[in-house]
Structure 1
């Protein structure tokens, strides 16, 4: 019996005469070959019924069935059937588009507040929009694209606008017949499903069947949003499946789709944030990137004059621009929205809002206090605090359970009833997501979840889901729990006199003493050698300290560590590391890993031609950070005895910057590891000059193309009486026996060198004999020769 998904095709077969149907089957012998597919055997279809042929076609050619059938209708002179089928399919596609247009128009107007006319928003996203068109051009093969950017930069808003424009008939019409939009975090409570079920949940009743929709997968695009909040770990898997009808664990379905095992001819458009990017990108095949860079100065202006009346908007923009740190934060749309909303509430003057918004935590606090005053202005601080606590409990429970979409039971369990929900919606703390509720922005959930620990009292009822503060700190700093990615910033930001002073008029006295003590106690335990857990994310800690900015507390935290390993992946990381490490007075060992991409900015047409851009941004170490300021910063720490830059490309200019910094009187580096830094022979001369009168006792130059000339320059340094170098590592440096002649002379003069590593060079017997001769002299201090 033909199932409902194949019934549409059977209707057209019923209109064929017996003679036409026979001819259709004969032609069917050749048609699959056009698609490089194996034809059905004649014995199988010679006497087959129309119902059974439909089943055979969908079984053997699910993705090509309609393309073949429409061609064959023309070949049996039934153009009318071909035309009728195309019109019917197009009508059903248009009905789906209309359904999506209505849905996303509602989402755009009710759940996506850009606070500006669409024409202004279109100007802001013009570059990303053009990139989207370029990636998914009408003739393109199946493509995977990712929308990247930090939280609050507008990735989801951009995807919603793209979905609305497609459904409205103005975007990618010639490319995709179907676009499906899924917020993957909504699947956190779903342990098992099939892709068929997932797609069906988005289809109106009048749509084509799934078989028909997926019979032309090149015309299907999946838009997947919210990976940062997905509870499941998606990773490279071997237990993947290509059957989109089969029920599987949710993570297997998503992994199969991302890794192009399931529906490989479909296209993908993903939103990836800071937490998910490094995990999801490796699963994808040649992803194209669309970068959300945040708001430009012009965009901030558009936003302000759209949010307020034009004249007031201009004044707000000018005041924001005068405050450079705050204006930088305003490039994040969510931050700008909170600032403008706080001004709109009218409970603080413009000067108070702008002068008090000195950190992300302060901006959130002013926004929340302003909203509370607008609704509960006459209520006591005790009452306001009790109301606030219910919201904080919901947020904290959600974070511990990795839940970001809440149902009515979640709200009731946390004493948020219908009247409360209405108030929180009005205050823009919560928003409606279909039949459920979410926090208006993810950072609000983090803020409220963090504030829970400041409001918590010993007499409070035990909550079985919410962990203790030490447990939470462990999740943040010693484990890899993405849901707390930014909450730690609020712990340090709220634990300041400034933020608690902002909270006090509305919620009464709130102390940071307990929170700070727990932070110090936990971080101190991580710094102990016997502790099994280690500080896995020092960068997170650095950004938290910048958020706090209270000098005494920052110094107290940084003085807990004698050894730190830092991975710097962008200029923001660099600034945070500089601020924090300068306050690490007890630091003795610093492992510094700097990714190449730090030294080449994302191309912006405003920089000029791409050719000139590439010439300027040549990925040289320190290109964009001015005169070796990084070295000067780190090497001013007198306790720093060990510096390892292994694997970092160093140009001659940068070697000179490094050596200049090492000459500083405050620099105490004794071990310098410069292995595999692409150091040239010429750079050896610079290094040799600085080593005279320096404190460095151990120097490693392994795996660099120093050659004989470089060693000759180093040997001049070794002959100087003021050189205190005790060990020199030169393995894999492209040396020959000629270098041994220079080393022979240096060994006879040097009074301190006790270890020399020349492994894996081309010294030959001649070179080794020269070195052995030097060892015979009583004034040669060398004890180890490798």
Structure 2
């Protein structure tokens, strides 16, 4: 026979003779011989070139499809379907968790073997997943269940499953398909940041919003994450790192990474970290970049003093048109630090709508400087937060009158 020595899985074989070759291959041999060979061949190719063919081939095992093919292949016995199902599950157990495993779960569906998926679904329905010690195979099954679920993957919430580095790293393919990843307060470390960096570098990643707040990732974790932020494929728009134990080194790395890929980021939350004046100076170099489109910046409780306020104000004056919200409460600004902000507010290109300066050690001198700037320019400012600063009676009167000024008729002053 002319086809006897040819590779039936070779892409050079003409597709018009495929059914003839299948019929020849299975004559006198178990169908599982071809099926197992097809599984092995598909796994050899990372590009997935044989994945659909493999699923098609396995679909021939179903009795309903055999009736439609009207004897083109030998009838596959029930034992044969069990054998190929067991073979596929063995391959799943042998492989590390990866995207290639997902096709094998589709293959199990083709032969109506849902045992691995049902195991994981029982954990999910009982709400015991966080306490369960899943095997590598069960983690892969969980990824498959989540990716094929009818529920939208727009938002991935890690604490619904298990608060750990291992869980996040196992579920990376799910994060990659989500637009928002809420990973806050899950006990994550720098290990997770390396995995997330890998997600950010993939061209197919849909991730736009990442919340890592409340995790002890530290400077090392930020540096790991930055290897993804610098990648041209990264299109992250929101990054939240509140209370993440980040110091000057982390701020330096983050500013450097975002300067190299600045056009996507719109919101950056870095409150409750040890930035200090030096950390904020690194961040200011990002804000000066004309390609930086950052609209929201949160730096509450970051140990910023007068020097840091000067650097921020100077950077925002050089590129004022995008920033809409600036959260600077709980820092050591004092009057000397706050007095750098009026020059920004007086700029007609300034589009700042929310400015929070609560608990910033501001006295009457600082309040007067802010009021003078707001009166002099039809400002875009809508909210001014001043809680915990305790202005004197004369300043309270000044700020009350400011609310009535034509240039400030839409301004809400909180805390006075």
TM-score, normalised by the number of residues in structure 1 = 0.33
Q: CA deviation at 1:758?
A: 0.6
* 1:543 equivalent in structure 2: 169
Secondary structure at the counterpart of residue 785 of structure 1 = strand
Determine if the alignment matches structure 1 residue 769 to structure 2 residue 397. yes
Query: How many pairs are equivalent?
Result: 307
Determine if the alignment matches structure 1 residue 484 to structure 2 residue 134. yes
* 1:560 equivalent in structure 2: 178
* 1:468 equivalent in structure 2: 118
1:733 is aligned, of 360, 364, 369, to 360
1:683 is aligned, of 308, 313, 318, to 308
Q: CA deviation at 1:489?
A: 6.7
Q: CA deviation at 1:581?
A: 3.5
> Which deviations, in whole Å up to 9, do the C-alpha atoms of 1:169-198 show, x marking residues without a partner?
xxxxxxxxxxxxxxxxxxxxxxxxxxxxxx
Report the CA distance shift for 1:564/1:620 in structure 2 as closer, same or farther (over 3 A).
Answer: closer
Decide whether the 8 Å contact of 2:383 with 2:412 is kept in 1.
Answer: yes
Decide whether the 8 Å contact of 1:752 with 1:781 is kept in 2.
Answer: no
> Which deviations, in whole Å up to 9, do the C-alpha atoms of 1:631-684 show, x marking residues without a partner?
735994755433222322212222122233344455433222222222222211
1:389 is aligned, of 86, 99, 102, to 86
Determine if the alignment matches structure 1 residue 632 to structure 2 residue 257. yes
Q: CA deviation at 1:570?
A: 3.0
2:108 is aligned, of 445, 448, 456, to 456
For 2:97 and 2:324, the matched residues in 1 are separated by: 52
Decide whether the 8 Å contact of 2:309 with 2:338 is kept in 1.
Answer: yes
1:572 is aligned, of 176, 191, 194, to 191
* 1:743 equivalent in structure 2: 370
Which structure has the bigger radius of gyration? 1
For 1:782 and 1:740, the matched residues in 2 are separated by: 19
Q: Report matched runs for 1:121-132 at 5 Å.
A: none
Report the CA distance shift for 1:473/1:733 in structure 2 as closer, same or farther (over 3 A).
Answer: farther
Q: CA deviation at 1:482?
A: 4.3
Q: Report matched runs for 1:412-561 at 5 Å.
A: 453=105, 456-459=108-111, 463=115, 466-468=116-118, 471=121, 474=124, 479-484=129-134, 519-522=146-149, 525-527=152-154, 543-544=169-170, 558=176, 560-561=178-179
Decide whether the 8 Å contact of 2:327 with 2:355 is kept in 1.
Answer: yes
> Which deviations, in whole Å up to 9, do the C-alpha atoms of 1:735-759 show, x marking residues without a partner?
2222111111111134211211111
CA RMSD, aligned part only?
5.0
Secondary structure at the counterpart of residue 468 of structure 1 = helix
For 2:323 and 2:153, the matched residues in 1 are separated by: 30
Decide whether the 8 Å contact of 2:251 with 2:275 is kept in 1.
Answer: no
Decide whether the 8 Å contact of 1:649 with 1:678 is kept in 2.
Answer: yes
Q: CA deviation at 1:770?
A: 2.2
Decide whether the 8 Å contact of 2:251 with 2:282 is kept in 1.
Answer: no
> Which deviations, in whole Å up to 9, do the C-alpha atoms of 1:367-389 show, x marking residues without a partner?
xxxxxxxxxxxxxxx99x94992
Secondary structure at the counterpart of residue 682 of structure 1 = helix
Secondary structure at the counterpart of residue 657 of structure 1 = helix
* 2:225 equivalent in structure 1: none
Q: Report matched runs for 1:282-301 at 5 Å.
A: none
> Which deviations, in whole Å up to 9, do the C-alpha atoms of 1:35-85 show, x marking residues without a partner?
xxxxxxxxxxxxxxxxxxxxxxxxxxxxxxxxxxxxxxxxxxxxxxxxxxx
* 1:20 equivalent in structure 2: none
Decide whether the 8 Å contact of 2:251 with 2:280 is kept in 1.
Answer: no
* 1:592 equivalent in structure 2: 212
TM-score, normalised by the number of residues in structure 2 = 0.57
Report the CA distance shift for 1:670/1:752 in structure 2 as closer, same or farther (over 3 A).
Answer: same
Report the CA distance shift for 1:541/1:589 in structure 2 as closer, same or farther (over 3 A).
Answer: same
For 2:97 and 2:287, the matched residues in 1 are separated by: 46
Determine if the alignment matches structure 1 residue 641 to structure 2 residue 266. yes
Secondary structure at the counterpart of residue 685 of structure 1 = helix
Q: CA deviation at 1:481?
A: 4.3
For 2:387 and 2:293, the matched residues in 1 are separated by: 29
* 1:702 equivalent in structure 2: 329
Q: Report matched runs for 1:28-47 at 5 Å.
A: none
For 1:760 and 1:730, the matched residues in 2 are separated by: 9
Secondary structure at the counterpart of residue 747 of structure 1 = helix
> Which deviations, in whole Å up to 9, do the C-alpha atoms of 1:724-775 show, x marking residues without a partner?
1111111122222221111111111342112111112121212212222333
Q: CA deviation at 1:582?
A: 5.2
Q: Which has the higher helix share?
A: 1
For 2:180 and 2:259, the matched residues in 1 are separated by: 14
Single out whichever of 451-460 and 656-665 deviates more from structure 2.
Answer: 451-460
* 2:246 equivalent in structure 1: 621
Decide whether the 8 Å contact of 1:622 with 1:654 is kept in 2.
Answer: yes
* 1:722 equivalent in structure 2: 349
Which consecutive unaligned segments of at least 5 residues does structure 1 have?
Answer: 1-355, 359-381, 397-428, 430-442, 493-514, 547-553, 602-618
Decide whether the 8 Å contact of 1:635 with 1:667 is kept in 2.
Answer: no
Secondary structure at the counterpart of residue 679 of structure 1 = coil
Secondary structure at the counterpart of residue 770 of structure 1 = helix
Decide whether the 8 Å contact of 1:747 with 1:782 is kept in 2.
Answer: no
Secondary structure at the counterpart of residue 297 of structure 2 = strand
Q: CA deviation at 1:698?
A: 1.0
